[in-house]
Homo-oligomer: A and B are copies of this chain.
Amino acid sequence: MSAYTGNLVCVRCGAVHPEPALELIGAGCPACVGANVLPQYDINVLPGVRPGWSRGRATLPLVDGQPGLFRYRALLPISDDVTPVSLGEGGTPVVELPRLADSIGLRGVWVKDESRNPTWSYKDRLAAVATTKAVELGAETVVVASTGNHGAAVAAYAARAGLRCVVLTLASVPATMKTLMQAYGAEVVALPTPADRWHLMGELVRARGWMAMSGYADPPAGSHPYGVDGYKTIAYELVEQLPAPPDAVVVPVAYGDGLAGIARGFADLAALGIIARVPRLIAAEPFGPLARALATGADTAGPVPVGPSVAFSTASPFGTQQSLAALRGSNGAAVATPDNDEIMDAQLALAGGSGLYLEASSVTAVVALRRAGLGPGETAVVIGTSTGLKDVGATAARLGEVPVIEPTIVALDKVLR
């Protein structure tokens, strides 16, 4: 039994919208500008679910025999009857980084390595829940605006579910990302600007009845409301995996759906009495719309000026209201990471120092962690959102050519460092 009430609630005005609400998915609240509607839960129903997990650390209401992150389906916004669309997502490891912790002066730092998901990014958590909801509501075609990770995840889950998938992307997206989305059978087209994609998505939802798998409000209100709650499972897993809840969680953000979803997961854990307080959430964002809103006390985040960024999948001029609220509600922070060289240096330092090769957007979280002002006794988790393989060209540009040599030690010695 899921604690989901069947309602969506506006994060700004609190208006309650009963499901099914296909036109609300991706459009945000009809009464508010740039505010998403998100699922409502009643955790009082949860005693009916067997408390299944225990490693002496926490007890979460698990449902046996469910694939991937659907073991948490009691806390996910899906019908009790629907068969999950799963590729075995979630359950990603936390990898400790003792050298990074020492260099910053923290008690402990872990990477939650989300590159271990089915399409090698944390967007699989969103796509698993959003696609399950698409099946539940009878959608036949899904449409998504994406620079790559989100589109690839939706394409893969749509393939798994037998749904048609149309991806609206940008010409500037790396070739690897385009091929990946196409490989899953999605129909991929590029549009001139991000806003073009949102406006076309809106038309397609209204004219064709397609389900939007990402947000299309302008300014952005946030992503697929059911999909956002897929990110809650990151919080659940962290509490299961770590010796104690971390003091801070650093999340790379574009619009902040991942951060908001993780915050909602921690809120569930607090409501269930599993954790005493919510960790500080720290946003890493190339151009700092949330950072500016926190500094100025603004109600909305952005637009701020943007430029070319190696962290292309998070290089947004906007934050969303729920991500701003999540930062304020957790006594969190936001750190702008505009320096491309600094990001790429950090990417190679992490790979060469710890064996984790994460995409540039993920690495912004490591950069932000160094500036987040955490205290020496504290612990932090960095969300490693995706693999460096998604844009290997950016890394290659900073490395030398592989030399071709004769097969002798003398020739080898000439090229070794």
Contacts and interface: CB of A to CB of B under 8 A. Distances in A.
Contact of A404 (B171, B175, B406, B417): B171
Interface string A116-127: 111110000000
Given A159-B351, A389-B389, A182 B399 contact: yes
A105 B185 CA distance: 24
A402 B157 CA distance: 20
A392 B179 contact: yes
Given A116-B117, A118-B356, A185-B348, A407 B88 contact: no
11 contacts: A88-B113, A157-B355, A169-B402, A176-B392, A178-B402, A182-B400, A183-B395, A184-B352, A185-B352, A189-B403, A190-B403
Interface of A: 68, 87-88, 91, 93-95, 113, 115-120, 156-157, 159-160, 166, 169, 171, 175-176, 178-180, 182-185, 187-192, 196-197, 199-200, 203-204, 207-208, 347-348, 351-357, 387-390, 392-393, 395-396, 399-400, 402-409, 412, 415-417
Given A189-B402, A189-B405, 13 more contacts: A156-B356, A176-B389, A179-B392, A182-B395, A182-B399, A183-B351, A183-B399, A184-B351, A184-B352, A185-B353, A192-B404, A192-B406, A203-B408
The list of the 6 closest CB pairs from A to B, nearest first, reads A88-B93, A185-B352, A196-B407, A160-B355, A156-B355, A179-B396
